[in-house]
Chains A and B, each alone.
Chain A
């Protein structure tokens, strides 16, 4: 089992550009959550996807959007990038339907906005 995988590992963009980050959940998991971790801070919840729909959203602007595919993989899109969007973006997967309470985290994508 490869666990949660994310791509790319690192990404450098300039202000105003758009970026897409990708996540493949752990085998058997159907729920994907995205978090933003700024330098020196804890992860902040962006949103959660289940059954290809956004189910919950944190305090992030509409520039942050996502998608979940039928195979449960997910994308995070950020438009009109700002310097403040520079962070580690973490994907986490879970399968609440099994009664498991654990989220498994991927290694993250490091986004740098210049």
Chain B
């Protein structure tokens, strides 16, 4: 079975500050890992993904994440927060050979203060 834990249901940062959203996963097989963003009353938009290869992955809107197998972590970072980054962020894990089923964390709400 796979599971995802997002540490901190709410994170608040000042505009221009570093954004760090934490994600730890549990998987019995090498995982595929994803970060999604959800704005109010909208669906999920993919920010970035790790499948194989380079463990530091870059995504849209200046976000990046690093896969650390030894720590079973996939934390999301952005050097400088913008007001438009305020949203709900979800980390998800999926098996390599199972494109249809993802397991999500409970999400982290990011607030950006002016």
Contacts and interface: CB of A to CB of B under 8 A. Distances in A.
Interface of A: 4, 31-33, 35, 40-45, 48, 50, 55-56, 58, 90, 92, 94-96, 100-108, 110
A106 B41 CA distance: 11
A45 B103 contact: yes
Interface of B: 4, 32, 36, 41-46, 49, 51, 90, 92, 94, 98-107
A96 B96 CA distance: 10
Given A43-B44, A43-B90, A90-B43, A50 B106 contact: no
A41 B107 contact: yes
B97 to A, nearest CB: 8
Nearest to A43: B104
A94 B100 contact: yes
A59 to B, nearest CB: 11
Contacts of A90: 43-44
15 contacts: A32-B100, A42-B104, A45-B102, A55-B100, A58-B101, A90-B44, A92-B100, A94-B100, A96-B99, A105-B44, A105-B45, A106-B43, A107-B42, A108-B42, A110-B41
A48 B101 contact: yes
A103 B90 CA distance: 14
